[in-house]
Amino acid sequence: MTNRRRFISGDGSLPVVPPLVRVPLLNRAFRFTIWAQWLAFLLGVVPAVAMNAGPSPEGLIASALAGVYVLVSNAVPMGVLNRRFVADGFALGAALLCMGAVILTDAKDSPFVLLSLIPPIQATLLRGGRAGFSTGGLSGTLLVAAQLARGGGVVPAVGLAVIYLVVVATMIQLIRILGDISRLAAASEARSVGVEQKLASLEEAHRLLSELARMGTEGMSLPDQGRQVLEWVGAEPGLKASEAVLYAPNGSIVVSRAGDVASAASIRTVPLTVGSRRVGEIRLGLNIEGFSQESVDRVDTMVRPLALAFANSLLLEEIVHQAVSRERSRVARDLHDEIGPSLASLGLSLDVALMSHRAEPALAAHMQTLRANVSELIEDVRATMSDLRTEPTGALGRHLADAIGPWAGPGQLEVAFSERRPPRPGLLPDLVGILAEAVRNASRHSSATVISIEGWADFDRGAISVVDNGRGFDPVANHQGHYGLVGMRERATEAGLELSLASGGVGTTVKVTWGLS
């Protein structure tokens, strides 16, 4: 809006349109006036020369003036004309030349009237509304003055003079429309550039993802790539065995292995890094003598593809993980917002119906069963919701290790349970809490030399025990210093785990089971 107002007020320049867009469109309009000039000139020259049945001196001089104007317009390059003072001078000169031609040839009836309309138009195009009006005003005034000097009718001359101003006003509107068009074009171009850039980056992402997916499915699995690299590395002199280790989110995984690294005389670790991220390592089992710096450098180069493969795999896993967790929250939300409450409402309706049909035992019993089923269904929905909202966390062993912390005794800790699948995520925090507490209790109070965690876990079923060989205690009696037991019991009941405690003269076993009854 401000731009538009500034232009209409006519401050002598054309600031409305951003310069980059202004130049091409206005320049094109200006070039068009040059063509129009030629046409108007020819339409003026022919009758001017042929007037009064033969060429008159006035007609010839007028034609010459008009000719000078047209030739100068054609001769001055656009770049020069766009300069402020040149443009002002050009507009003034053009108006004077044209009006000279008009005045010499019958003023308002002159054949050069059409040509004389062009300088105000050009002034408007070059220098804006104010310059246009000045030039138009000058032309009009000269015309009226000439008409008065000739003693001709003033009214038609004034009418003609007004036309100059009207033409300038029309021109101003035209420039405004051109400005709007330019702005729209610029905006639309900017948008399309944005869309193209977005498209290009999406295409690039698609290409990379396809490539990654292809690598995952076409035999270039991580173990394959690991094996290949270990083969290359295996040719180095002094190398006995090697293994490639991936730092997966759930812990380190040995992806490929050649020989037994542990039995080698010395072990050297080569980190696998991409950028600043360490994604894994290659462990080299060496004979004591001879693994040169050159070998180390060569190995560094050879393992680089594997580092990239590891990084890609981890990246893909992160992407998949994000997608999965988004979907999990959506399902949990649906269960919470819709299915659960609807079932609950159904249950309450059954309760009401049950109350009013208590007199009919057969029907009441039937409805009671139905109600029990609905209740069970609701509890299932709640449990599923809780599972979905807990991140799939991975190995029980790793969580247990985190909870227990670095082991400093007293007693030796042995971890020997099998974990076919990690426990249900909803159970995991309580399970880990109870087992860690049991280990801490055994370590602090039993003077055991060996504490072991044993048993098995398979998602929704499992039995894990913490066994120590220390002095036992009477589990029924209230033991000072065994406050942890009360908390463990409460926690187990709340989580739906079964906790049993066996202790006698020697040793204590704390056993947690789930899904077995």
Residues forming contacts to other proteins in the complex (CB under 8 A) are 335-338, 340-349, 351-352, 355-356, 371, 374-375, 377-379, 381-383, 385-386, 389-390, 426, 429-430, 490, 493-495
Termini Cα distance of the chain: 78
Nearest distance, CB of residue 433 and other proteins, angstroms: 10
| 411 close to 470: Cβ distance less than 8 angstroms | yes
- For residue 424, the minimal CB distance to other proteins (Å) is 13
Q: Token pair for residue 307? A: 């580092």
Nearer to other proteins, 474 or 494 (CB): 494
Residue closer to other proteins, measured from CB, 211 or 379? 379
Angle, in degrees to the nearest 10, between helices 118-127 and 84-104? 170
420, 457 in Cβ contact below 8 A? Answer: yes
CA 501 to mean position of chain CA atoms: 54
**Residue 200 DSSP SS3:** helix
Beta-bridge partners for 281: 245, 271
In whole angstroms, how close is the CB of 457 to other proteins at the nearest point?
20
Q: How far is CA 199 from the centre of its chain?
A: 12
Strand partners, 270: 282
Q: Shortest approach of other proteins to residue 372 CB, angstroms?
A: 9
- In the block, which residue shows the tokens 């039993």? 446
Q: State the nearest-atom distance from the C-beta of 514 to other proteins, in Å.
A: 16
The two tokens of residue 414 are 């042995």
Nearest distance from C-beta of residue 483 to other proteins, angstroms: 17
Closest CB 346 distance from other proteins, rounded Å: 8
Which residue lies nearer to other proteins by CB, 143 or 485? 485
Q: How far is the CB of 373 from other proteins (least distance, A)?
A: 11
Cβ proximity to other proteins: between 327 and 338 the closer is 338
Q: Which is nearer to other proteins, 130 or 389 (CB)?
A: 389
Nearest distance, CB of residue 386 and other proteins, angstroms: 5
Nearest C-alpha neighbor of 25 from the set 180, 254, 131 = 180
Beta-carbon-side half-sphere exposure of residue 184 (alpha carbons within 13 Å)? 6
Of the pair 283, 371, the CB lying nearest other proteins is at 371
Q: By C-alpha distance, which of 148, 174, 151 is closest to 161?
A: 148
What's the min distance (Å) between Cβ of 349 and other proteins? Answer: 6
Distance of alpha carbon 359 from alpha carbon 99, whole angstroms: 115
Angstrom distance (rounded) from CA 282 to CA 338: 51
Angle 111-113-115 from CA coordinates, rounded to 5°: 95
DSSP, residue by residue, 80-134? HHTSHHHHHHHHHHHHHHHHHHHHHTTGGG-TTHHHHTHHHHHHHHHH-HHHHHH
**How far is residue 503's CA from residue 451's CA, in Å, rounded to a whole number?**
14
Whichever of 248 and 353 has its CB closer to other proteins, that residue is 353
Nearer to other proteins, 260 or 380 (CB): 380
User: Closest CB to other proteins among 279 and 497?
Assistant: 497
Q: Are 230 and 296 in contact (CB under 8 A)?
A: no
Residue 342, CA distances (Å) to 242, 374, 429 in order: 59, 11, 30
Give the residue with the Cβ less far from other proteins, 161 or 385: 385
Looking at the Cβ atoms of 231 and 337, the one nearer to other proteins is 337
Nearer to other proteins, 193 or 372 (CB): 372
Nearest to 435 by CA among 459, 456, 409, 453: 453
Helix axis angle for 154-217 and 304-334, nearest 10°, is: 110
Minimum distance from CB of 371 to other proteins (Å)?
7
